[in-house]
């Protein structure tokens, strides 16, 4: 039971930790997915605004950019004009970088001039956007070349958005928009810790309640087990002992006699059984009452018990009789003698005092110990 309880509270604690970790990961994934989805919609709306307001003025240059040498593309005045228009469009937004690709994956414009002229036709995000589907991804950047310079330790969402006047016409270009969502991620993580703290607190309260119930249940089981053992011991004691004197009874005598007989035969020991009887006990009961008779039996049992050795055993066989067994080691070279016990009848010198007290005088029950031969070393 103790081992089961030990394993149960460990399993409960492990379950709480697993649930908290699982909820943390699930919440984080859901929030990140929601954040990416929201930023994707925002960047799609931004690209549509670009297509409606700026694209008509720069579409011709972007479509023929593949014919311009890569070394000269970044220095064209069209690039500076496009950058000026994009800055006006992105003013006040969290956009930190913009790239524009033609339909073949050529980087026609980038806020980082070093990337102009690169071929991104194999990029999965570009391919999805060229086929008409916006694609986004969130990453943590230790260092990032933004529009205004180098920034560090930022969470960036990159969105590839198809550029077209409306959905019925083919995709003319692809626009990649980089948004800084670091503040949103920080707010999300703070909210995550608050939620996890609440969940952990609730689960801890439930766990504490369950643990309290288990402890109480364990205590009740322990008390019931102790009561059961005590009841069994009480029943066994009652079955083998006399209620009045507390001495072992006839059933206990039979078992002990059988056991001592077997041991004596096996080890060559000698033992004796001495039978004692209280004479005129009925007179005490009739004249002084059963209470005095009971007291007489208890006093007699106590005095006889004091007269025998610790190795001897005393039993109450019936109403007025007792037996004492005495064990000794056998010495095959010496004759065996039976133990004897003598009761000396003393004259009742104060009969009136006995009648008043309801019990025999103390000097009426002297005894001499049973004597048995002892072998050396016993």
pLDDT digits (tens, 9 = 90+) for 334-350: 333 333 333 333 333 33
Instruction: Identify the pLDDT of residue 43.
Output: 85
All residues at 6 or more sequence positions from 93 whose CB lies less than 8 Å from its CB, including other chains: 46, 179
Cα–Cα distance for residue pair 138/36, rounded to 1 Å:
7
DSSP 8-state code for residue 374: -
Count the helices and strands in the chain (H runs, E runs): 10, 8
Cα–Cα distance for residue pair 13/208, rounded to 1 Å:
10
pLDDT digits (tens, 9 = 90+) for 70-101: 778 888 888 889 888 888 888 888 889 999 99
**Tokens linked to 136:** 């986004």
pLDDT digits (tens, 9 = 90+) for 163-178: 987 777 788 899 999 9
Residue 104 sits at φ, ψ, to 5 deg, of -100, 5
pLDDT digits (tens, 9 = 90+) for 288-322: 898 998 898 899 899 988 888 888 889 988 755 55
Instruction: Identify the pLDDT of residue 342.
Output: 31
Residue 241 β-bridge partners: 248
Identify whether the C-beta of residue 278 lies closer than 8 Å to the C-beta of residue 345: no
Domain architecture of the chain: domains with CATH? 2-190 (3.30.450.20), 250-364 (3.30.70.270)
Residues of the chain scoring pLDDT < 50: 328-378
In percent, the amount of the chain with pLDDT more than 70 equals 82
Q: What is the pTM of this model?
A: 0.53
């Amino acid at each position: 039971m103790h081992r089961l309880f030990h394993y149960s509270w460990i399993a409960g604690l492990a379950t709480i930790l697993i649930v908290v970790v699982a909820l943390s990961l699930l919440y984080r994934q859901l929030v990140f997915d929601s954040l990416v989805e929201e930023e994707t919609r925002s960047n799609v709306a931004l690209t549509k605004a670009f297509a409606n307001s700026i694209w008509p003025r720069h579409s011709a240059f972007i479509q023929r950019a593949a014919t311009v040498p890569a070394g000269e593309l970044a220095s064209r005045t069209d690039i500076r004009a496009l950058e000026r228009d994009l800055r006006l469009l992105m003013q006040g937004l969290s956009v930190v970088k913009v790239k524009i690709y033609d339909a073949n994956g050529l980087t026609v414009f980038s806020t980082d001039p070093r990337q102009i002229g690169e071929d991104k036709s194999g990029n999965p995000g570009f391919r999805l956007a060229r086929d008409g589907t916006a694609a986004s991804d969130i990453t943590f950047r230790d260092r990032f070349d933004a529009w205004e310079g180098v920034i560090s330790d930022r969470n960036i969402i990159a969105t590839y958005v198809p550029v077209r006047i409306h959905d019925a016409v083919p995709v003319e270009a692809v626009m990649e928009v980089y948004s800084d969502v670091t503040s949103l991620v920080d707010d999300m993580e703070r909210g995550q810790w608050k939620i996890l703290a609440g969940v952990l607190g609730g689960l801890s309260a439930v766990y504490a309640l369950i643990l309290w119930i288990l402890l109480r249940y364990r205590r009740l089981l322990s008390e019931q087990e102790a009561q059961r053992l005590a009841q069994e011991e009480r029943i066994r004691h009652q079955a083998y002992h006399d209620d009045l004197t507390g001495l072992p009874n006839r059933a206990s005598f039979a078992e002990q006699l059988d056991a001592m007989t077997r041991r004596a035969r096996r080890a060559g020991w000698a033992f004796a059984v001495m039978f004692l009887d209280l004479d005129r006990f009925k007179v005490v009961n009739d004249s002084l009452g059963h209470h005095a008779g009971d007291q007489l039996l208890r006093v007699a049992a106590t005095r006889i018990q004091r007269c025998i050795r610790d190795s001897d055993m005393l039993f109450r066989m019936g109403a007025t009789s007792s037996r004492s067994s005495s064990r000794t080691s056998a010495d095959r070279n010496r004759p065996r003698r039976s133990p004897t016990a003598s009761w000396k009848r003393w004259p009742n010198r104060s009969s009136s005092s006995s009648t008043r007290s309801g019990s025999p005088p103390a000097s009426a029950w002297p005894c001499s110990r049973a004597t048995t031969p002892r072998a050396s070393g016993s």
